[in-house]
Amino acid sequence: MNLLKTLVFTIVVPMTVTVYLPWWLLAARPARYDINYGSVRTIGIIPIVMGALIYLRCAWDFATIGRGTPAPINPPKELVVRGLYKYTRNPMYVGVASVLVGQAVFFEARSLFILTIVAVLMFHLFIVLYEEPTLRRIFGKSYARYCHAVPRWFGWRSFAIGQRESPRQ
C-alpha cells in the first residue's frame, strides 16, 4: 500500500516540479532566452536519468524500509538511514534537482536553470522549517545522531551509524 501511495505522491509533487512546470516554461519561452550548447546539450541526459534513479531508489526505501511515503501526511514510521541516506540526508531533493539541471542543459533553457534555483531554495526552506523539526520531534536522539553523522546536502563526513550503532539506540 505504501508503494501505491508513494506512486500517487510522485505523480502529484515531484512530477509537477520535473515535468509539468518545465513543460509549461518551455512552451512559453521566447527564443531569445535560449542558450546554445550545440551537441554538448545531450550531456543533460545523464543528470536526468541519474536524478530519476536517485528519486526512485529513495522512494522505494521510504516505502519498504521506512514503512511510509515521502508525503508529509504519511511519513515513514522508521528513520531511513541506509542506501543513499548514508551520504546525504536529502537524496530525494538531490535527485529532483539533478533532473532539473539536466533538463536545463538538454533543452538549453535559462528558464529551467531559474526553476532549478528557485526549487532548490524552496526545498531548503521546507527542509529547515518543517522537515527537520518534525523529524527531531518524531525520532529524537536517533535523528540528532544521524544529523551529526550525515550532511544535509553534501559534505565530507562519513556515515558511521550504520556500521557501528543503530540510530534508534
Which tens digit of pLDDT belongs to each residue from 83-103? 999 999 999 999 999 999 999
pLDDT tens per residue, range 103-121: 999 988 999 999 999 999 9
Q: Can you give the residue ranges of every domain in the chain? A: 2-129
* Cβ(22)–Cβ(103) below 8 Å: yes
The confidence score (pLDDT) of residue 154 equals: 84
Higher pLDDT, 30 or 17: 17
The residue assigned the cell 541519474 is 50
Question: What's residue 164's pLDDT?
Answer: 45
pLDDT score, position 40: 81
Number of Cβ within 10 Å of residue 6's Cβ equals 22
Cα Rg, the chain, nearest whole Å = 17
Contact present, 116 and 93 (Cβ < 8 Å): no
* Higher local confidence (pLDDT), 167 or 6: 6
Local confidence band at 28 (pLDDT 50, 70, 90 cut-offs): confident
Q: How confident is the model at residue 163 (pLDDT cuts 50, 70, 90)?
A: very low
The HSE-up count of residue 147 (CA atoms within 13 Å, CB side) is 13
Q: pLDDT tens across 52-78, in order? A: 999 999 999 999 999 999 998 988 999
Does the predicted model carry a pTM greater than 0.95? Answer: no
Q: What's the pLDDT at 120?
A: 98
pLDDT tens digits for 124-133?
A: 999 999 999 9
Q: 108 near 25, Cβ under 8 Å?
A: no
